[in-house]
Amino acid sequence: MASALIVIDVQNDFCPGGALAVEEGDRIVQGINALMAETQNDGGTVVLTQDWHPAGHSSFASSHPGAEPMSMTEMPYGPQVLWPDHCIQGSHGAKFHADLEVDRADLIIRKGTNPAIDSYSAFFENDHTTPTGLEGYLRTLGITDLVMVGLATDFCVNFSAVDAAELGFKVEVRQDLCRGIDLDGSLAAARQGMEKAGVTLA
């Protein structure tokens, strides 16, 4: 069976010192590098995702006068966390962590490029209908099994894993190679949701 490693958003803004830093986000990089090498040695595929927002993105608190970062708002597609400005196209914060072996990627998927819709999942924007193209790529290669790592466990990893499981992929999340934000209990809720969707938490 064909497998792929999906490395989610290991970018400067999600690592210590970044605009939306995940605690110990940089601590997983070397382990991910080793897993990318192992995956390719076993004939698997490596995909990296990259948050890639235009300036003034609608998910930024700064785009909503008077709104505080990490507060909630209602978008046409549902509830949305308003984030600090992060991963702006071409910025240092949007770049992959310097130690991540980016050249191992068979494909890089950029998401969150539509200024009107945020995109947590590697598969769909937050309207849950607009695809990124990743599913088609994986299907074309006959890939059935996915391993997911990266940032953050309770947002982009979680949404990607649940979407993949619902699309019929066999999904494993390597918790040792993820780190979470844990916004108001979001980490526990994400783990529960992933398990309910049939995702293996390894």
Q: Which of 153, 159, 80 is nearest to 118 (CA)?
A: 80
Antiparallel, parallel or unpaired: β 78-81 and 143-151: unpaired
Task: Indicate if 95 belongs to the active site.
Answer: no
CB-CB neighbours of 185 under 10 Å: 9
Please state whether the peptide bond connecting residue 190 to the residue before it is cis, i.e. omega within 30 degrees of 0: no
85 is catalytic: no
Of 13, 156, 163, 178, the catalytic one is 156
Q: Which residues contact 102 (CB under 8 A, 6 or more apart)?
A: 48, 96, 108
The residue annotated as part of the active site, out of 111, 118, 163, 178, is 111
9 counts as catalytic: yes
Q: Which residues are catalytic?
A: 9, 111, 156
